[in-house]
Amino acid sequence: MRDNPQAGADAAFALPDHTVIELRGDDATGFAQAQFMSDVAALPCGHWHWSGWLTPKGRVVAVFAVLKLAHERLWVLLPDAPPTPLADALRRFVFRSKVTIVVRDDLHVQGTFAAADGASGSAMAGDSDAAIELDLSAAAGVRSVVIGREAATTGDPDVARWRAFDLAHGLPRLEASQVEQWTPQQLSLDRLHAFSIKKGCYPGQEIVARTHFLGKAKRGLVLIASEQSFAAGAQLRVDAAALGAVVAATSTPLGKHMGLAVVPLERAAGALNIDGVAVREIALQDGLAR
């Protein structure tokens, strides 16, 4: 990892909306396997992938990355959602499992728009006692994350650019108003390989599997852009008819406005708009799946 992450055009910057929850103990992997929607048991140690937690009705509570440091030690890299309420909610399901769930307030998350030094794809690099590096590159370019005890200076334009990169590749950054509103299929989380339909039981698994095997996935994500800003929860229309809802939105440092909306997979052609302001659809980019 970089000796001086603050220097140069690819300087590291704080991602203050990213936090870390640690699961540790003999049953850490088994607990995550039973609760999270990804196949954590099949994830090799030293690797990470996208995952999430669902309600029993199959609605997404949070989307996050699971880092498997060891079978008995996992980190959950959590964008957006406050970590303490999520950790408290997970603890209610520990029962007799040998797992401790801790919010790692001592860890800081830094991002940089530069290639990772040692991490590649889903393989992590570094030492959890010092810093862990992740490769979050995708079609739009290279970028990486470092999780450690050293804090970086927050750079608001860089954070906005980071969020726009996520949305452009179909990673929904869910605000509080969008929590427990959508299924994994509606958020097109299959694009990120973020959920499993084969691994067995977890909260919401029955809904996810039924939707998949009965072909009932009728809605998914589209990427949209507009000349004016809009927010999560805004209604997307085609001409005058309601079409879908915005689940995540951002404004970039260059004054562009973009977001992700859930819409029917089969829909009539027409002019898209939000509150009468023209909206255009942009193709989602690939490469962020792990």
Three-class SS string for 133-161?
EEECCECCECCEEEEECCCCCCCHHHHHH
- The pLDDT, as a whole number, for residue 5 is 38
Q: How far apart are CA 133 and CA 110, in angstroms?
A: 10
Sheet containing 131-135: order of strands: 13-14, 108-112, 144-148, 131-135, 125-127
Count of other CB atoms within 10 angstroms of residue 281: 13
Residue 115 confidence class, pLDDT cut points 50, 70, 90: very high
DSSP codes of every residue in 227-282: SS---TTPEEEETTEEEEEEEEEEE-TTS-EEEEEEEESS-----EEETTEEEEEE
DSSP 8-state secondary structure symbol assigned to residue 42 = T
Q: Enter the tokens of residue 260.
A: 């992700």
DSSP codes of every residue in 39-62: -STTSPTTEEEEEEEE-TTS-EEE
Closest to 159 measured CA to CA, from 10, 7, 9, 13: 13
Scan for tokens 């030690």, then name that residue.
73
Q: How far apart are CA 225 and CA 235, in angstroms?
A: 14
- The pLDDT, as a whole number, for residue 229 is 96
Closest to 90 measured CA to CA, from 20, 128, 35: 35
86-90, 167-171, 249-253, 270-274: least confidently modelled range = 249-253
Query: What integer is the mean pLDDT of 118-128?
Result: 97
Query: What integer is the mean pLDDT of 64-88?
Result: 97
Q: How far apart are CA 168 and CA 231, in angstroms?
A: 16
Query: What integer is the mean pLDDT of 144-159?
Result: 88
- The pLDDT, as a whole number, for residue 20 is 98
Count of other CB atoms within 10 angstroms of residue 179: 15
Domains and CATH numbers, the chain: 13-168 (3.30.1360.120), 176-282 (2.40.30.160)
Residue 153 confidence class, pLDDT cut points 50, 70, 90: confident
- The pLDDT, as a whole number, for residue 16 is 93
Whether the pLDDT of residue 1 is over 80: the answer is: no
Q: How far apart are CA 72 and CA 274, in angstroms?
A: 47
Residue 77 is inside which H or E element, if any? strand 73-79
- Phi, psi values for residue 164, rounded to 5°: -65, -40
Length of the chain: 290
% of the chain beyond a pLDDT of 70? 97
In DSSP terms, 76 is beta-bridged to 21, 66
**At 51, is the secondary structure helix, strand, or coil?**
strand
In DSSP terms, 259 is beta-bridged to 224, 249
Average pLDDT, rounded, for the chain: 94
Query: What integer is the mean pLDDT of 35-47?
Result: 98
Whether the pLDDT of residue 202 is over 90: the answer is: yes
Residue 268 confidence class, pLDDT cut points 50, 70, 90: confident
Cα-trace Rg, the chain = 19
